[in-house]
């Protein structure tokens, strides 16, 4: 399942997509994130039947992703290497913008 966390407004779509089929909850992505956007939880809010831990974007971060991720994704820079994406050994993380 692709879990999309974020928002859309007049300036664009700002979502982090986490592929929960690939994510094994290892937590490696949490460490390099400078804005504490990512967290690993024992219960998947999108899939109550899942028994393994999974990465999510916390509630307080979802409405400000554009700003929280700005230091990794500065405006005008195309395809920067994102610490979270680079760190994930499963290739489970994508960003919409
Ligand atoms: S782009 Fe940067 S701030 Fe945003 S989730 Fe990834 S590592 Fe964290
Ligand atoms: S590094 Fe990848 S596999 Fe590990 S918790 Fe983060 S998203 Fe999931």
CATH of the domain at 49: 3.30.70.20
Cα atoms in the 13 Å half-sphere on the side-chain side of 11: 7
User: What is the span of the domain harbouring residue 13?
Assistant: 2-95
Residue whose CB lies within 8 A of the most ligand 1 atoms, among 56, 84, 95, for a mutation test = 84
pLDDT at 76: 83
Domain count along the chain: 1
Q: For residue range 22-43, list pLDDT tens digits in order.
A: 999 999 999 999 999 999 999 9
> Which residue has its alpha carbon closest to ligand 1 atom 8?
33
- pTM assigned to the model: 0.94
- Please give the distance of CA 43 from its chain centroid, rounded to a whole number: 16
> Which whole number is the average pLDDT over 66-73?
94
Angle at the Cα of 59 from the Cα atoms of 88 and 20, rounded to 5 degrees? 35
> Which residue has its alpha carbon closest to ligand 2 atom 6?
29
């Amino acid at each position: 399942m692709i879990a999309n966390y974020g928002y859309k407004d007049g300036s664009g779509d700002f979502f982090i997509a986490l592929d929960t089929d690939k994510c094994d909850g290892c937590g490696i992505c949490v460490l390099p994130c400078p804005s504490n956007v990512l967290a690993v939880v024992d219960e998947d809010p999108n899939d109550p039947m899942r028994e393994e831990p999974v990465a999510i974007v916390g509630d307080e971060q979802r409405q400000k992703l554009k700003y929280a991720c700005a230091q990794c994704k500065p405006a005008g820079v195309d395809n920067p290497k994102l610490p979270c994406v680079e760190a994930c050994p499963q290739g489970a993380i994508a960003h919409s913008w």
